[in-house]
Amino acid sequence: MRTTSLMALPSSVLAGIFLFALTSAQKDNGNECSCFLTNGSSSGYFSYHRFHDFRNVAGASATPPTVISNENNATEAFATSDFFLSDAWQNDWQIQNWNNSDSMSASGATVLMINSANNIYIEQSNNTAPDYTSYLTFRTSRLPGFQSAAEVDSNEKNFQYLSARFLARVIGAPGACAGMFTYLPNDNPQLVQESDIEILTAGPRDMVQYTNQPSNDKNGNAQPQATVNGTNPGGRDWTLWNTYRLDWMPKMTSWYVNGESVANIAFQVPRDPSGLIMNMWSDGGVWTGNMSLYDEAYLQIQWIEVVYNTSGPFAGTSKRDEHGAGGLLEKRKGTPGCMAVCSVDADVNVTGTPVLLYNNTGVALTWRGEGTGWLAWIPLVLAGSALFGYL
């Protein structure tokens, strides 16, 4: 029985809802859209869109922050510029300053690694490309006493399925690993859930590693079905700007570089709500290798675009919450829901700005028995905006 439908709301309320959605979610560049469609074999629909743009940040520095060689000062370092103190950054991301002292022996690290806010900065581009004057840099640097590293975690840790794209390059000395990945931590390394893009600066310059962690079993043996050592399309160097795309979907994780498929892994696909992480690191272990003293390496990112669904509390939970908002997601499954379908791939002319593909607004109203389904989209979009601090 249909007791509620959007049609039943007074039009003034309706107008208010739309206006609210349009004015409160500017940053997602998709404010006319009620869902977002991705292309390729891992194509799907998602409720939310975010575009993080580091290409033309005013006041970007031409000079990287001086490396801090003291362990405590590196740990306690302040943000390198006001950019990282802005709400726009702080609502979404958290710069890390943990170190690996507790986990060195278990992880096979041979070098103390300290994450420092001093290694994360907006850098001015030194070339004359018209479309960007700056980018976000993650630096890692080998110092006499330790390896200084860089990591940023998303505040939102309830992503459940997403398509994330990074326009990125990696430059610098061998012995480091650039990572862009989904992450659900667990004290037991065998229970960590993670879909990875990893670029090893000691590796061949056209190869990138894609993995659904854990890549080793509990006896330490490699699980070959968990990982693909992929070649960039056209053998392009990772020192050049490439768009890396990670599609975490219910039954498979798929990866693309510059729009071309490079890996599909159906083994050990992450199941539970997770966060997103970017980092540049090294610990002298077998995976990264060692960096030579005073060498540096960098992960640089022009922009990040993410379309995603969520489940459970914003800050995540290490256990699945069957009674939480997860139940809501279940309820939403199978509803047509989406009034204005936007593409983040096909027909997109302006990077980061989704394009309207279909407008079902009139159509949905005539569908029988589906009224509550599509009503559900609007509050969810608003809830997403609220969580990102727009309301």
Ligand X SMILES: *[C@@H]1O[C@H](CO)[C@@H](O)[C@H](O)[C@H]1NC(C)=O
Choose which of 9, 17, 40, 241 interacts with ligand X (CB under 6 A).
40
Q: In one letter, which amino acid is 366?
A: T
Choose which of 23, 26, 56, 73 interacts with ligand X (CB under 6 A).
73
Residue the block writes with tokens 């006001």: 82
When asked if residue 185 is in the footprint of ligand X (CB under 6 A), the reply is: no
Residue the block writes with tokens 């983040």: 344
CB of 318 to ligand X, least distance (A): 19
211: β partners: 196, 227
* Contacts of ligand X in 301-330 (CB under 6 A): 309
When asked if residue 83 is in the footprint of ligand X (CB under 6 A), the reply is: no
When asked if residue 251 is in the footprint of ligand X (CB under 6 A), the reply is: no
When asked if residue 110 is in the footprint of ligand X (CB under 6 A), the reply is: yes
CB of 71 to ligand X, least distance (A): 4
Choose which of 21, 60, 164, 340 interacts with ligand X (CB under 6 A).
340
Handedness of CA 73, 74, 79, 81 (dihedral sign): positive
Choose which of 126, 128, 188, 219 interacts with ligand X (CB under 6 A).
126
Choose which of 45, 132, 241, 390 interacts with ligand X (CB under 6 A).
45
- Residue-wise DSSP of 251-289: S-EEEEETTEEEEEE-TT---S-BEEEEEEE--SSTTT-
Write the CB contacts of 300 (distance below 8 Å, at least 6 apart in sequence).
123, 135, 136, 137, 138, 168, 169, 170, 171
159: β partners: 274, 310
Q: Is 179 helix (H, G, I), strand (E, B) or coil?
A: strand
Radius of gyration of the chain (CA): 22
CA 107 from chain centre, in angstroms, equals 24
- Is 154 or 290 the residue whose CB approaches ligand X more closely? 290
When asked if residue 225 is in the footprint of ligand X (CB under 6 A), the reply is: no
CB of 192 to ligand X, least distance (A): 18
Answer for the pair 171, 301: CB distance below 8 angstroms, yes or no: no
CB of 59 to ligand X, least distance (A): 18
The closest alpha carbon to 193, from 163, 157, 231, 224, belongs to 157
CB of 200 to ligand X, least distance (A): 6
- Is 26 or 361 the residue whose CB approaches ligand X more closely? 361
When asked if residue 237 is in the footprint of ligand X (CB under 6 A), the reply is: no
Taking contact as CB under 6 A, which single stretch among the options 67-75, 185-193, 267-275, 314-322 is the one that binds ligand X? 67-75
- Residue-wise DSSP of 125-149: -SS--TT-SEEEEEEEEE-SS-EEE
Query: Nearest residue by C-beta to ligand X?
Result: 259
* Contacts of ligand X in 18-37 (CB under 6 A): 32
When asked if residue 99 is in the footprint of ligand X (CB under 6 A), the reply is: yes
- Residue-wise DSSP of 66-130: PPP-SHHHHHTPPPSSGGGGSHHHHTTEEE---BSTTTHHHHT--S-EEE-GGGEEEEE-SS--T
Q: Is 7 helix (H, G, I), strand (E, B) or coil?
A: helix
- Is 9 or 88 the residue whose CB approaches ligand X more closely? 9
Q: Is 375 helix (H, G, I), strand (E, B) or coil?
A: helix
When asked if residue 206 is in the footprint of ligand X (CB under 6 A), the reply is: no
* Contacts of ligand X in 350-369 (CB under 6 A): 355-356, 359, 361-362
When asked if residue 259 is in the footprint of ligand X (CB under 6 A), the reply is: yes
Choose which of 134, 148, 201, 209 interacts with ligand X (CB under 6 A).
209
Task: Tell me how far CA of residue 233 lies from CA of 43, 238, 243, 246, in angstroms.
Answer: 20, 11, 11, 15
Q: Is 235 helix (H, G, I), strand (E, B) or coil?
A: helix
CB of 92 to ligand X, least distance (A): 20
Choose which of 345, 354, 378, 388 interacts with ligand X (CB under 6 A).
345
Taking contact as CB under 6 A, which single stretch among the options 7-15, 82-90, 267-275, 332-340 is the one that binds ligand X? 332-340
CB of 389 to ligand X, least distance (A): 22
Neighbours of 310 (CB within 10 A): 26
Residues binding ligand X (CB under 6 A): 32, 39-40, 44-47, 70-73, 75, 99, 101-102, 110, 114, 126, 161, 171, 200, 203-204, 207, 209, 229, 249, 256, 259, 261, 284, 286, 289-290, 309, 332-333, 337, 340, 345-347, 349, 355-356, 359, 361-362
